[in-house]
């Protein structure tokens, strides 16, 4: 069976699913992750889900190219809604905003809570996603930062189970902030600090939004003191 190289980002998501063998890929697009996972024996079967016809057509073409029509089922639908409790062990949701991922989990909360693992790769809005996980009795059991094509990506692995947290955990990640010397962690928050300073330079003193960004800057400098 031929395989194509998977992006570093999707490879990390696939690795985070271990040792699960039956998964669903939400917002599958080309279905690269499930195809590669089965082709390399990391997965046994998968359900590829997308809400848009175009990506579903692309997914079917990739699955056919790999010859995996028996192992991968394609379904149309929003988030986890097409899934039935028990038919997969875990899900991956990659390449969406954190706010959207959070909403998809809330829309199918019982299904989400039935999973052994949720592997989530938000493009933005990590704080919103973490807060939603914590508020709904999920715990974060894995966090990773990686850089690809100049972009730093965050991968969050969660499972059902209550976890104590504070505001720093929500903003910086309960596991990520324990390794503040990580080059990707430093680079991510250096970039964020530059963006915050840029906003502050444009907001007049006394403006109602200024205090929000000043607090954000204070938190960043408190966690990454040498930035």
138-147: per-residue pLDDT in tens? 999 999 999 9
CA angle 161, 167, 173 (to 5 degrees): 60
Instruction: Please tell me the distance from the alpha carbon of residue 53 to that of residue 145, in angstroms, as a whole number.
Output: 31
Query: Among 170, 185, 98, 91, which residue's Cα sits nearest to residue 134?
Result: 170
Q: Taking residues 15-36, what's their average pLDDT?
A: 97
Widest distance between CA atoms in the chain: 63
φ, ψ for residue 45, nearest 5 deg? -155, 165
Confidence of residue 1 (pLDDT cuts 50, 70, 90): low
User: Structural domain of residue 205, as residue ranges?
Assistant: 183-223
Q: Are 105 and 67 part of one and the same domain?
A: yes
Q: Where is 24: in which H helix or E strand?
A: strand 22-26
pLDDT at 226 over 80: no
What the block records as the tokens of 4 is 């194509």
CATH number at residue 37: 3.40.50.150
pLDDT tens digits for range 148-184: 999 999 999 999 999 999 999 999 999 999 988 899 9
The model's pTM:
0.94
User: Do both 120 and 199 map to the same domain?
Assistant: no
**Number of separate domains in the chain:** 2
For 19-49, give one letter per residue: b (16+ CB within 10 A) or e: ebbbbbbbbbbbbbbbbbbbbeebbebbbbb
Residue 213 has pLDDT above 60, yes or no: yes
13 and 40 fall within a common domain: yes
In a shared domain, residues 23 and 45: yes
Whether residue 22 lies inside any domain: the answer is: yes
Instruction: Indicate whether 58 pLDDT > 90.
Output: yes
């Amino acid at each position: 069976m031929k395989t194509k190289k998977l992006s570093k980002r999707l490879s990390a998501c696939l690795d985070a699913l271990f040792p699960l063998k039956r998964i669903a890929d939400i917002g599958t697009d080309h279905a690269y992750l499930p195809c590669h996972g089965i082709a390399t024996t990391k997965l046994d079967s998968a359900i590829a889900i997308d809400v848009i016809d175009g990506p579903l057509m692309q997914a079917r073409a990739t699955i056919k190219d790999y010859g995996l029509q028996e192992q991968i089922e394609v379904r149309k639908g929003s988030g986890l809604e097409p899934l039935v409790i028990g038919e997969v062990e875990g899900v991956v949701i990659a390449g969406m905003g954190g706010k959207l991922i959070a909403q998809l989990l809330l829309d199918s909360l019982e299904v989400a809570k039935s999973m052994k693992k949720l592997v989530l790769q938000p493009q933005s809005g990590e704080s919103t996603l973490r807060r939603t996980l914590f508020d709904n009795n999920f715990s974060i059991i894995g966090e990773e930062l990686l850089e690809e094509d100049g972009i730093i990506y965050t991968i969050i692995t969660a499972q059902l189970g209550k976890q104590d947290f504070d505001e720093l955990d929500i903003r910086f990640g309960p596991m990520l902030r324990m390794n503040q010397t990580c080059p990707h962690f430093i680079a991510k928050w250096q970039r964020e600090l530059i963006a915050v300073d840029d906003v502050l330079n444009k907001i007049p003193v006394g403006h109602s939004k200024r205090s929000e960004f000043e607090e954000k800057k204070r938190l960043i400098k408190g966690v990454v003191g040498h930035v």
